[in-house]
């Protein structure tokens, strides 16, 4: 009825509400909706464009790393293959002495696992916590071919008296749940004692904490040396005329195109006791035949070789930032009475910080994960944590342990990254 | 020609070569000279004899690759060359197919395969192809006299100079005990006790100041060649190559050698298990094993193969027998790696060894 009222339009028109609502596109749709639709379409198209990259990152990076990290606290080698005895552990409070029912469950599980050829997996899992028990499982499994006769406790103790060891039962109880913190404990040189308390591992087994510390210290040292060596070179590159700086740039990049092993071996030839540098020093009479310097197969060798290998990662970001620094700033500072040192310290150096930050972060993160060079030139003292991760991945096949060590390393780097962000600011990075 | 018939014909033409081709065996091996030797002694003659193509693929660590493939349920290899210890481990975890030893060829003298292979080298999922040894090597052209026994390696007063050692507890602890006078047959009994372990590390302490540690098999050869060390632990195959191919005056001290077996395992879920078994049986007959020993100085693991080994395939004149770890004269004081001991104690001793190494500088 209101539409028929000739005054109605005039009245509402006077308030100004109707003409706003009537803003439409050429084909009569409301403008706001049309805008929303078109911007949504643009967003969708943008998303579709990055979708391949997103899928690539997810499939090749996030998922495998997530699985690997999951492995560091999840190992169902015992729980999945020993269901009955795991159930007994679930039904009884911790500390319960194994009774006949427990041994019966164990005997049944051992027989089944030997049948299914999974007994090696079970033994491997327990062997992580009690070294030397893997063969206990496999040997008992071989005896279990025909099954055990009751009373099971006597039968199992007859097969091997180690089955009566309460420490073994405590470890089996711990392994009967797939989720465990044991690998993380082992990765920081801790273990559980007979009461289940967390204690230090025996002194002669303590190695990981020391290796983490060494990795951190050496990586920081290498970052520092690449900075000390790389800064002047980058400055030279940025200030020389183009033609000569291009030649220098090729020299900086040349090692990039040479195999890592070749570069490492070249350092061996130079630095070893019968090597070029020692021969030269002996020939010059600086040292005698007995006093040849040890510069290889120790930490010195590791630092020298890794500094050389990682140097371009420091030089390139520094160079790209230094090229953009206007030389007139320093000139202005000098003309206002600053000494060359003050002009460098207060005007030039602060402007290189974004490049320095990026270079330092790159070098440090690469150094933390290096293992080929330390393995070849590190000798006994140049071994890093990544060498142990590689060892657990490829030799002992203890992937849970490798994952726990890698997770700690990743966590440590992330913490440092966070500290770095608070101190320097990630927004200030310039990667080239 | 109507379209459907033309399509059918095309499909047939495309399908023919596929169906006519026999399965191709994919074999995982260690690469380098080792793969080349297997190509020459095993793969090529096998393909000629049976028509089955063999593709040898190189991997840094065949065991880790096999484990990941079998656990993921996507196995692309029919066979892998692995060490005996790894084969035992994979077999116990149900990742390898059992191999019936009755399918293997009898010895050259007609004795059954189980008696012809060297004791302790056959496994339920494993058939050996070669025996390699970790030995002491030295440069005969240097003054100071030649070491006579493994004890001389640990004696830096009688034989001054630095020593190259493998940066791994395996082989190194065994050699330390043998250098301390423990007979080969008691090494593992000794290592299994805490006192025995301490004794091994105490022996290593004696040469700690003189030690240069290596990891890659090529390093000890270089260390010897550069005069960085007076003696070094080394893999016998590498020293042989330096002696013969590069004509270097290196010698091997066979006393106290520690040897390990390598061979075939068939991963569970292999695409062509029957052809794989055929390949295993064919290549581990006495004759092909002897041919393989002419390619590299790794010994054939069969008794009846020893006499069949001739001259070095590459130069056609060096008799191989004196260079093989399995030759009886070289076996007088030799120790076989105990795989059972190492699958039990690998991680524990690697950690202790690393901790000991780290203390070496303080």
Q: How far is B153 from chain A (nearest CA, A)?
A: 19
Phi and psi at residue B123, to the nearest 5°: -125, 165
Distance CA A136, CA B345 (A): 12
- Nearest chain A residue to B355 by CA: give it: A207
Whether omega for the bond prior to residue B247 falls within 30 degrees of 0, making it cis, is no
Q: How crowded is residue A221: how many other Cβ atoms within 10 Å of its Cβ?
A: 16
| pLDDT score recorded for residue B362 | 41
| pLDDT score recorded for residue A402 | 93
DSSP A345-389: IIIIHHHHHHHHHHHHHHHHHHHHH--HHHHHH-TTT---HHHHH
CATH of A208-428, one of 3.20.20.330, 3.40.640.10, 1.10.3720.10, 3.40.50.880: 1.10.3720.10
Tokens of A353: 């910080």
pTM of the model: 0.78
CB B238 within 8 A of CB B154: no
Average pLDDT value over all residues in chain A = 86
Smallest CA-to-CA distance from B132 within B361, B338, B329, B325 is with B325
DSSP B262-303: EEEE-BTT-S-HHHHHHHHHHHTSHHHHHHHHHHSSPBPSBG
Q: What is the pLDDT of residues B51-108, one digit of tens each?
A: 999 999 988 888 889 988 998 889 999 999 999 988 988 888 889 999 999 999 999 8
Smallest CA-to-CA distance from A333 within A319, A318, A349, A320 is with A349
Q: What is the pLDDT of residues B4-15, one digit of tens each?
A: 555 555 554 444
More confident residue, A385 or B32: A385
| pLDDT score recorded for residue B5 | 56
| pLDDT score recorded for residue B300 | 94
CB B243 within 8 A of CB B221: no
Average pLDDT score over residue span B213-242: 91
- The closest CB to that of B358, out of A207, A297, A395, belongs to A207
> How far apart are the two ends of chain A, measured CA to CA in Å?
71
Q: How far is B85 from chain A (nearest CA, A)?
A: 10
Average pLDDT score over residue span B151-174: 93
| pLDDT score recorded for residue A188 | 92
Contact B89 A388 (CB under 8 A): no
Task: Please state whether beta strands B54-58 and B231-235 pair in parallel, antiparallel, or not at all (unpaired).
Answer: unpaired
Domain ranges of chain A: 1-71, 83-176, 208-428
Degrees, nearest 5: CA angle A357-A363-A369: 135
Distance CA A238, CA A413 (A): 31
| pLDDT score recorded for residue A346 | 92
| pLDDT score recorded for residue A21 | 58
CB B128 within 8 A of CB B280: no
| pLDDT score recorded for residue B20 | 42
**A192 secondary structure, DSSP code:** E
Distance CA B272, CA B112 (A): 26
Interface of A with B in 70-129 (CB under 8 A): 116-121, 123-124, 127-128
Contacts for A370-374 with beta carbons within 8 Å, 24 or more apart? A370/A306, A372/A260, A372/A261, A372/A264, A373/A260, A373/A264, A373/A302, A373/A305, A373/A306, A373/A309, A374/A302, A374/A306
Distance CA A413, CA B346 (A): 29
| pLDDT score recorded for residue A6 | 46
Contacts of A135 in chain B (CB under 8 A): 340, 343-344
Phi and psi at residue A382, to the nearest 5°: -100, 10
| pLDDT score recorded for residue A220 | 94
Q: How far is B241 from chain A (nearest CA, A)?
A: 20
Q: Collapsing DSSP states into helix, strand and coil, what is residue B310?
A: coil
Q: How far is A144 from chain B (nearest CA, A)?
A: 14
Provide the CA B57 distance to its chain's centre, in angstroms. 17
Contacts of A396 in chain B (CB under 8 A): 346-347, 350
Q: How far is CA A279 from CA A244, A262, A284, B259, in A?
A: 34, 21, 9, 38
| pLDDT score recorded for residue A432 | 55
Question: Which helix or strand (DSSP H or E) is residue A125 part of?
Answer: helix A119-129
CA dihedral B157, B161, B163, B164 (to 10 degrees): -170
Average pLDDT value over all residues in chain B = 88
Query: Which residue ranges form the domains of chain B, and what is each CATH number?
Result: 3-131+261-326 (3.40.190.10), 134-259+335-361 (3.40.190.10)
Smallest CA-to-CA distance from B97 within B125, B122, B61 is with B125
- Nearest chain B residue to A136 by CA: give it: B344
- 3-state percent breakdown (helix, strand, coil) of chain B, nearest 5: 50, 20, 30
| pLDDT score recorded for residue B64 | 87
Distance CA B324, CA B154 (A): 24
- Nearest chain B residue to A371 by CA: give it: B215
Contacts of A393 in chain B (CB under 8 A): 64
Rg (CA), chain B: 23
CB B167 within 8 A of CB B213: yes
Contacts of A206 in chain B (CB under 8 A): 355
| pLDDT score recorded for residue B184 | 93
Candidates A204, A271, A282, partner chain B, best to mutate (most B CBs within 10 A): A204
Rounded percentage of chain B residues whose pLDDT exceeds 70: 93
| pLDDT score recorded for residue B10 | 52
Q: Residues of chain A whose pLDDT is less than 50?
A: 1-18
Average pLDDT score over residue span B180-185: 94
| pLDDT score recorded for residue B292 | 94
Q: Which residues of A114-150 are buried (b: 16+ CB within 10 A; e: fewer)?
A: beebbbbbbbbbbbbbbbebbbbbbbbbebbeeebee
Phi and psi at residue B323, to the nearest 5°: -100, 0
Interface of A with B in 153-212 (CB under 8 A): 204-207, 210-211
| pLDDT score recorded for residue B22 | 57
**A229 secondary structure, DSSP code:** H
CB A412 within 8 A of CB A216: yes
Q: How far is B332 from chain A (nearest CA, A)?
A: 29
- Residue A135 near chain B (CB below 8 Å): yes
């Amino acid at each position: 009825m209101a539409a028929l009222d000739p005054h109605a339009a005039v009245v509402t028109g006077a308030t100004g509400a109707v003409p706003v609502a009537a803003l439409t596109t050429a084909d009569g749709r409301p403008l706001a909706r049309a805008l929303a639709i078109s911007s949504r379409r643009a967003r969708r198209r943008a998303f579709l464009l990055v979708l391949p990259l997103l899928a690539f990152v997810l499939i090749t990076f996030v998922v495998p790393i997530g699985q690997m990290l999951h492995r560091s606290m999840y190992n169902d080698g015992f729980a999945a293959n020993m269901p009955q005895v795991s159930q007994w552990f679930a039904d009884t409070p911790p500390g319960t002495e194994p009774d006949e029912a427990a041994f019966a469950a164990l005997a049944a599980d051992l027989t089944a696992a030997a049948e299914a050829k999974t007994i090696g997996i079970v033994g491997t899992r327990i062997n992580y916590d009690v070294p030397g028990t893997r063969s206990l499982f496999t040997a008992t499994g071989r005896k279990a071919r025909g099954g055990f006769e009751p009373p099971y406790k006597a039968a199992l103790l007859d097969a091997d008296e180690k089955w009566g060891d309460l420490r073994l039962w405590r470890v089996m109880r711990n392994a009967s749940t797939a989720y465990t913190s044991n690998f993380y404990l082992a990765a920081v040189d801790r273990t559980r004692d007979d009461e289940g308390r967390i204690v230090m591992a025996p002194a002669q087994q303590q190695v990981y904490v020391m290796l983490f510390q060494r990795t951190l210290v050496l990586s920081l040292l290498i970052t520092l040396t690449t900075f000390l060596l790389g800064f002047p070179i980058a400055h030279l590159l940025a200030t020389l005329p183009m033609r000569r700086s291009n030649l220098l740039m090729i020299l900086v990049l040349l090692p990039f195109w040479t195999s890592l092993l070749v570069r490492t071996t070249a350092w061996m030839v130079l630095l070893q006791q019968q090597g070029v540098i020692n021969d030269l020093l002996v020939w010059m009479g600086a040292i005698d035949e007995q006093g040849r310097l040890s510069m290889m197969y120790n930490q010195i060798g590791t630092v020298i070789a890794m500094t050389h290998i990682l140097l371009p990662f420091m030089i390139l970001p520094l160079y790209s930032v230094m090229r953009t620094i206007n030389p007139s700033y320093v000139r202005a500072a000098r003309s206002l009475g600053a000494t060359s040192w003050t002009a460098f310290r207060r005007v030039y150096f602060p402007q290189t910080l974004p490049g320095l930050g990026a270079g330092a972060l790159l070098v440090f993160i690469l150094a933390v994960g290096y293992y080929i060079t330390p393995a070849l030139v590190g000798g006994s003292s140049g071994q890093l944590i990544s060498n142990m991760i590689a060892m657990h991945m490829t030799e002992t096949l203890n992937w849970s342990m490798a994952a726990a060590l890698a997770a700690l390393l990743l966590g440590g780097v992330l913490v440092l990254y966070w500290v770095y962000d608070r101190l320097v600011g990630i927004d200030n990075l310039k990667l080239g | 020609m109507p379209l459907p018939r033309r399509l059918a014909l095309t499909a047939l033409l495309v399908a023919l070569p596929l169906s006519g081709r026999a399965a191709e065996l994919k074999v995982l091996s260690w690469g380098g000279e080792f793969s080349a030797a297997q190509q020459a002694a095993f793969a090529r003659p096998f393909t000629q004899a049976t028509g089955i193509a063999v593709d040898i693929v190189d991997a840094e660590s065949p065991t880790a690759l096999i484990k990941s493939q079998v656990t993921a349920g996507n196995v692309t290899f029919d066979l892998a060359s692995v060490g005996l210890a790894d084969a035992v481990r994979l077999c116990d975890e149900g990742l390898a197919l059992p191999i019936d030893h009755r399918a293997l060829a009898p010895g050259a003298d007609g004795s059954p395969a189980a008696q012809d292979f060297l004791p302790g080298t056959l496994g339920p999922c494993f058939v050996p192809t070669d025996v390699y040894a970790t030995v002491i090597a030295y440069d005969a052209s240097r003054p100071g006299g030649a070491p006579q026994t493994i004890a001389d390696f640990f004696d830096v007063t009688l034989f001054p100079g630095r020593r190259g050692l493998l940066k791994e507890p395996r082989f190194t602890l065994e050699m330390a005990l043998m250098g301390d006078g423990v007979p080969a047959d008691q090494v593992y009994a000794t290592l299994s006790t805490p006192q025995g372990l301490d004794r091994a590390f105490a022996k290593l302490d004696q040469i700690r100041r003189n030690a240069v540690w290596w990891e890659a098999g090529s390093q000890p050869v270089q260390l010897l060649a550069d005069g960085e060390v007076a003696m070094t632990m080394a893999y016998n195959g590498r020293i042989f190559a330096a002696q013969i191919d590069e004509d270097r005056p290196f010698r091997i001290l066979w006393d106290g050698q520690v040897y390990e077996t390598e061979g075939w395992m068939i991963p569970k879920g292999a695409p062509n298990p029957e052809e794989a078994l055929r390949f295993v049986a064919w290549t581990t007959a006495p004759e092909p094993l002897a041919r393989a020993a002419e390619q590299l100085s790794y010994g054939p693991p069969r008794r009846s193969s020893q006499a069949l080994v001739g001259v070095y395939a590459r130069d056609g004149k060096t008799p191989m027998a004196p260079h093989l770890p399995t030759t009886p004269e070289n076996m007088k004081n030799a120790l076989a790696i105990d795989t059972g001991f190492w699958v039990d104690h690998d991680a524990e001793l690697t950690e202790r060894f690393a901790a000991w190494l780290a203390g070496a500088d303080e």
